[in-house]
Structure 1
Amino acid sequence: MIKVYGIPNCGSVKKARALLESMGVAYEFVDFKKTPPSREELTRWVQKTSLQILLNTKGTTYKKLGLKDRNLDDKQKLETMLEHPTLIKRPVIESSDTESSSTIVVGYDEASLKALV
């Protein structure tokens, strides 16, 4: 089962979805704006990668909230990401047989995405 998390109008999300579709890979799309990630999902992603990779420091939301000038610890960053899901780098693509054995790719990376499927 592959899930693509993001927002529909994001360019990186569009490219990832198009690549999966061109390879004939079935996936479920989860819109962050309609279904924000749960604390459990976000924690699982952090365990699979890192908070530094998941936090989108180049996006509009990061700049609008002035996070660069705030010295947030990891717990505060996680809480802020839960409150503002658009702070999460997109897309987050999760491939799993079970929740305990999942692999994720964060951001659009064609080679990593092809290796995932």
Structure 2
Amino acid sequence: MERTGMKVYGIPNCDTVARARKYLNGRGVTYQFCDLRGEPGIDAETIARAYQVLGAATFNTRSPSWRSLDSAQQTALKEGRDFSAAVATPTVLKRPLVFADDQILNGFNAKVWDPLFTAH
């Protein structure tokens, strides 16, 4: 299934990202994988686009990376005021972060993904 410019942001060794990629590959979905820890990583503009759709759910507030941020950084992220902490520490993002056509998703849930990524 061809998706125009679909991008999947994640970390290669993340179990959830691996399950999501296996799901997409198994359905023949074409996408570009972007390693959050690699080059170029993710920029504040991309995080802001995700935040516009997902709100504070853009971030994994249960992760050790989140807990490593100070309270001012956490508040700025939750309120969508400043995404620089997420650019510097992209593992605070809930993964995978998926931009597929006009959809922005994060996390992996096959029931949510099935209508979007299953050929009709």
Q: Same fold (TM over 0.5)?
A: yes
Aligned match for 1:89, one of 82, 94, 101: 94
- What is the aligned partner in structure 2 of residue 99 from structure 1? none
Deviation per CA, 1:6-62, whole angstroms, max 9, x where unpaired?
Answer: 000001100000001111111110000113211211111111221x11111111211
1:35-74 alignment, distance < 5 Å: 35-50=40-55, 52-65=56-69, 67=70, 70-71=71-72, 72-73=75-76, 74=79
Q: Quick check: 1:11 aligned with 2:12? A: no
Q: How many residues align?
A: 107
Distance 1:8 1:16 in 2: 11
Structure-1-length-normalised TM-score = 0.82
Q: CA deviation at 1:115?
A: 2.3
**Residue 83 of structure 1 aligns to which amino acid in structure 2?**
A
**Residue 89 of structure 2 aligns to which amino acid in structure 1?**
H
Structure-2-length-normalised TM-score = 0.80
Name stretches of at least 5 consecutive residues in structure 2 with no aligned partner.
none
Name stretches of at least 5 consecutive residues in structure 1 with no aligned partner.
97-101
After the TM superposition, which segments of 4 or more aligned residues of structure 1 sit over 4 Å from their partners?
A: none
